């Protein structure tokens, strides 16, 4: 008799998302903010425009709202990046990571074509939007969910999206930097962004009481 509990999964995690992605195809959204920020060419699964839009809001509206001291570590990062960066949005990554910077040798056809058409360097990374949405740093659970309701989830998505995006952008801009240093910056950005967004909404601060788990 076959014991259900001992059965191996028929397909690895993320495989169904990958298949659906291939069947549906992809669409692109060009995200333009200020002249000082790289253009983002967001490639997203057809029908998932909201995920690309969430990234656009985080990059163009939430990021510039953050306090100068929160943004300080990323000023040299933004200045060192290529002028255009391809962001491959996926629901989840099979490895469970929330994002990866892609070295030039591992670029998609889209990024390679773009670099050749523009005759200039292009960056590329992937972001797992569903994984980012479900990422639950410890301090969030200690906040009063009822007070902000659904707004808290929206703030979390904005802060988490920015933390993962900027983390991978720092890998891209400064590949020699250690994971520990880059993590330190992105953890601090997430905590400061959440604190600011929640404080602006509820007009009071809250303390980060526990270290953040690894994205």
Minimum distance of Zn ion from residue 203's CB (angstroms)? 34
Are the CB atoms for 115 and 41 separated by under 8 Å?
no
Minimum distance of Zn ion from residue 143's CB (angstroms)? 26
What's the CA gap between 39 and 85, in Å, rounded?
6
Terminal alpha carbon distance of the chain: 40
Minimal CB distance residue for Zn ion = 97
- Pick between residue 134 and residue 179 the one whose CB is nearest to Zn ion: 179
Are the CB atoms for 170 and 186 separated by under 8 Å?
yes
**H and E: helices and strands count for the chain:** 11, 5
Are the CB atoms for 137 and 192 separated by under 8 Å?
no
Residues 6+ apart with CB under 8 A from 134: none
The token pair at 114 is 């773009």
What's the CA gap between 32 and 141, in Å, rounded?
34
Minimum distance of Zn ion from residue 155's CB (angstroms)? 23
Minimum distance of Zn ion from residue 204's CB (angstroms)? 32
- Pick between residue 95 and residue 104 the one whose CB is nearest to Zn ion: 95
Minimum distance of Zn ion from residue 74's CB (angstroms)? 14
Q: Which residues bind Zn ion (CB under 5 A)?
A: 95, 97, 179
- Pick between residue 97 and residue 143 the one whose CB is nearest to Zn ion: 97
- Pick between residue 8 and residue 178 the one whose CB is nearest to Zn ion: 178
Indicate if the alpha-carbon torsion angle 13, 188, 106, 22 is positive or negative. positive
The token pair at 106 is 């591992």
- Pick between residue 25 and residue 175 the one whose CB is nearest to Zn ion: 175
100 C-beta neighbours (distance < 10 Å), count = 17
- Pick between residue 12 and residue 64 the one whose CB is nearest to Zn ion: 12
Minimum distance of Zn ion from residue 101's CB (angstroms)? 8
């Amino acid at each position: 008799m076959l014991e259900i509990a001992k059965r191996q999964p028929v397909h690895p995690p993320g495989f169904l998302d990958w298949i659906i992605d291939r069947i549906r195809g992809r669409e692109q959204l060009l995200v333009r903010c200020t002249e000082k920020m790289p253009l983002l060419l967001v490639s997203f699964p057809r029908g998932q425009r909201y995920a690309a839009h969430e990234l656009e809001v985080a990059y163009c509206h939430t990021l510039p709202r953050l306090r100068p001291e929160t943004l300080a570590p990323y000023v040299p990062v933004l200045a060192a990046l290529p002028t255009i960066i391809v962001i491959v949005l996926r629901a989840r990554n099979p490895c469970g990571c929330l994002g990866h910077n892609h070295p030039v040798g591992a670029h998609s056809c889209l990024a390679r074509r773009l670099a050749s058409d523009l005759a200039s360097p292009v960056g590329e990374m992937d972001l797992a939007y569903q994984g980012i949405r479900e990422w639950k740093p410890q301090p969030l659970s200690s906040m009063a969910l009822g007070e902000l309701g659904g707004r808290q989830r929206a703030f979390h998505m904005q802060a988490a999206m920015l933390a993962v995006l900027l983390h991978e952008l720092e890998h891209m801009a400064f590949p020699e930097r250690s994971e520990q240093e880059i993590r330190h910056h992105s953890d601090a950005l997430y905590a400061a962004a959440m604190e600011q967004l929640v404080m602006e909404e509820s007009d009071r601060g809250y303390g980060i009481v526990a270290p953040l788990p690894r994205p």
